[in-house]
Amino acid sequence: MPSKQRNTSALALKLLEERGTFWLFDCGEATQHRMLHTTLKPKKLEKIFITHLHGDHIFGLPGLLGSRGFLGGTERLDLYGPVGLAEWIEVTLRISRTHLNYELAVHEVEEGTVFEDETFRVEVQPLDHVIPSFGYRIEQKPLPGKLLIDRATEAGVPKGPLLRELKEGRDVVLEDGSIIRSGDVTGPPQPGFTVAILGDTRFTANSIELARGADIVVHEATYDGATAHLAAPYGHSTILDAAQVAREAGAGALIANHISARFLPEDARKLAGEAADLFPVVEIAEDLAEFEWKDGQLRRLP
Ligand SMILES: [Zn+2]
Ligand SMILES: [Zn+2]
C-alpha cells in the first residue's frame, strides 16, 4: 500500500558511467511519476528486473513502457521476471492498444544466469515469499588495470588513441609493425562491484548465497523486532533478518527497503539502530533516497 511518505516499490541502478544506461528493479504503481522527481530519463532505461508479480511491484509497468516510447526511447528494452509476466504484459498492452515503437524482449526467469555480456553478469535465485519471488545478483566484471604511461611511452606508443585502446584492454600494432600487449603496459585488473537486490522474502539461505561477498545487499525489512510475529505469516522479513543476511553473506553494506507504512520517516533511525548490533553499515531507503558506491564506501547523496 502506498502512503503519503512512501510509494510502492521501484529501485534504479544507475550505470551511466558503466553503460550509459540505468536498470530498474520492480516498477510499482506511479513509478514513472516518481521518476519525474529524479534525473532518470526513461529513454536511458535498458533493463527492468521484476522480483515478483505482486501489484505493488508491477502495476507501474504498462504506463512506463508506454511513456518510454513517447520520451525518445527507441532502443530495445529487456524485461526479466517470473513466469506469467509475459502474458500479463501482452494482454495489458493489447487490450489497451498500447503500441510500443521499440523492441520489448520479455525473459521469464527461474534460476541461474539471466544476463551476461563483457562487463556484467546477472544471476537469479528463488526466495521465500507467498508467491514466487526472486533475488538478483549483479556482478560487474573486473575492470582493466590502470595504464602505466611510462611503460607505454618506453615501448614506443605515441600519445593519442592507441593509449586509450591499451587502457581498455586491447592490444595494438605500432606503425613499425611491433605489437604492444595491453597486459604489458597496464596494472592488474581492478575488481568490479557486486550488488544483490532481493525481492519480498522471509529469511532464507538463498538470500545469503545471492549476497555472498557483495558490496551492497538491498533487502526488504517490512517489520521490526516488535512486529516480528507478522513477518513469517505474510512472507516478509524484519530489519533483523535483513541484517542477519548481510552479516552471514559477509556483505559490505545493507540498504533496507520495503518498510511497512506503519513506520513513519522518523522511525528510520530506530530501525537502523535495531540492526546495528548484527551489522554495522545499514541505510534505510526512504523514497527518492540516492546512494553512491565509490572507493569501497557506501554514501548517501544529499
Ligand atoms: Zn510481495
Ligand atoms: Zn511487496
C-alpha cell of residue 78: 529487456
Q: How far is the CA of 250 from the centre of ligand 1 (A)?
A: 26
Is residue 107 annotated as involved in ligand binding? no
Instruction: Considering the candidates 26, 56, 215, 224, report the single residue annotated as catalytic.
Output: 56
Q: State the Cα–Cα distance between residues 240 and 51, nearest whole angstrom.
A: 21
Low-confidence ranges of the chain (pLDDT < 70): none
C-alpha cell of residue 197: 537486490
Is residue 56 annotated as involved in ligand binding? yes
- Interval 75-94: pLDDT, tens: 999 999 999 999 999 999 99
Close Cβ partners of 37 (under 8 Å, ≥ 6 residues apart): 288
Ligand nearest to the CA of 1: 2
- Which amino acid appears at position 292 of this protein? E
Q: How far is the CA of 129 from the centre of ligand 1 (A)?
A: 7
What is the pLDDT, as a whole number, of residue 187? 93
Ligand nearest to the CA of 57: 2
Q: State the Cα–Cα distance between residues 121 and 110, nearest whole angstrom.
A: 16
Helices marked H in 109-230: 149-154, 161-167, 205-211
What is the pLDDT, as a whole number, of residue 184? 92
Is residue 129 annotated as involved in ligand binding? yes
Closest by Cα among 192, 208, 293, 195 to 242: 208
Q: How far is the CA of 202 from the centre of ligand 2 (A)?
A: 12
What is the pLDDT, as a whole number, of residue 266? 86
Ligand nearest to the CA of 10: 2
Is residue 219 annotated as involved in ligand binding? no
What is the pLDDT, as a whole number, of residue 38? 95
Answer whether 200's CB lies under 8 Å from 54's CB. Answer: yes
277 is catalytic: no
What is the pLDDT, as a whole number, of residue 162? 92
What is the pLDDT, as a whole number, of residue 144? 86
What's the pTM value of the predicted model, to 2 decimals? 0.92
Q: How far is the CA of 199 from the centre of ligand 2 (A)?
A: 8
Q: How far is the CA of 57 from the centre of ligand 2 (A)?
A: 6
Is residue 258 annotated as involved in ligand binding? yes
Q: How far is the CA of 138 from the centre of ligand 1 (A)?
A: 21
